[in-house]
Copies of this chain bind each other. A is one copy, B any other.
């Protein structure tokens, strides 16, 4: 992609083409493209921004998209502009499930002032990386009121999800057993809100039971009071959406007042800067040591064992006698 600049004015008007272009530049593998996005963000991140960033996480099949469709449409009706980022490394927004995917956010995607962006390609960090953070920065620059991030969360990526959002909502399946199946300690300690989803029909009773289980588990594992932050919900019945939103907003406002939101965002900026630093470092030196790496891999092809000591000698040699 050639590097003509994206109009910051158009982005601030939430122009879909300009937003998409900025995101494409950000996700480009060409460093010059990425630098253009940095240029774009240079002033933006410094300015006051009004966005609330909410991540919606949960295991596959829990109904994250259905929830976001219902929740987003509700928020839109309240007058908010909304950006949705779907971060699922192995599916795209339109090609998620094997058997077709007609029901994913169809209503939401038709609304004005709503921008929906599917996930970037899979990478080792579970689809979440510096690009994701910068995509959200672009949406903040555009001035979306609410930014929703859909992530698969099964205890692998919760730390990264925390580094992206102000609020972390975990969707949970109603459990019919005696155990909190599939809910891991890590994620249990990190989520700000718990929603037992699919609380309709035959699963209604199980959902209520799960709610009680989660309440008592949280009581044991969390220091802070989680009262009023655990809900059952059905994206079919849609009852109780107002209560959920009010609770989220109240919590966000109180965190903001305490200075927690600003602190979290500053730490996130530092986290991703460090991440970016190491990524660039790796890119730079991977290029520099391309030949040496090939020699090592050829050795393996020839049945020779290659260990860390073989590698370490390469790096220290390049640094001269003083390391």
Give A contacts to B, CB under 8 Å.
Answer: 31, 34-35, 38-39, 41-43, 45-46, 59-61, 88-91, 95-99, 122, 124-127, 152, 154-160, 173, 175, 178-188, 213, 217, 220-221, 266, 269-270, 273-274, 276-278, 280-282, 284-286, 288-289, 293, 296-297, 300-301, 303, 305-309, 311-312, 315-316, 319
Taking the closest CB of chain B, its distance from the CB of A221, in whole angstroms, is 7
Question: Are A61 and B59 also in contact (CB < 8 A) when A301-B266, A308-B34 are?
Answer: yes
| Complex: chain B residue closest to A45, CB-CB | B305
Residues of B within 8 A of A284 (CB): 312, 315-316
CB atoms of A217 and B297 under 8 A apart: no
Known: A31-B308, A315-B281. A300 touches B270 (CB 8 A): yes
**A312, B152: Cβ atoms closer than 8 Å:** no
**A60-B181, A60-B184, A98-B221 are known contacts. Are A273 and B297 too (CB-CB below 8 A)?**
yes
Contact partners of A181 in chain B: CB under 8 A: 60-61, 97
Q: Nearest chain-B residue to A315 (Cβ)?
A: B284
Q: Which residues of B contact A91 (CB under 8 A)?
A: 155, 184-186
Identity of the chain B residue whose Cβ is nearest the Cβ of A151 in the assembled complex: B156
Q: B180–A97 contact, CB under 8 A? A: yes
* Copies held by the complex: 2
Among B31, B154, B277, B297, contact of A152 (Cβ-Cβ < 8 Å): B154
Given contacts A297-B273, A300-B270, contact A124 B122 (CB under 8 A): no
Cβ–Cβ contact B41 & A155, under 8 A: no
Chain B residues whose CB sits within 8 angstroms of the CB of A46 once the complex forms: 303, 305
Say how far A260's CB is from chain B's closest CB, in angstroms. 17
Whole-angstrom distance from the CB of A60 to the nearest CB of chain B? 3
Asked if B273 and A309 sit within 8 Å, CB to CB, the answer is no
**B277 contacts A155, C-beta separation under 8 Å:** no
CA distance A274 to B90 in the complex (A): 23
Which residues on the B side are within 8 Å of A217 (C-beta)? Answer: 98-99
For the complex, what is the distance from the CA of A8 to the CA of B311, rounded to whole Å? 24
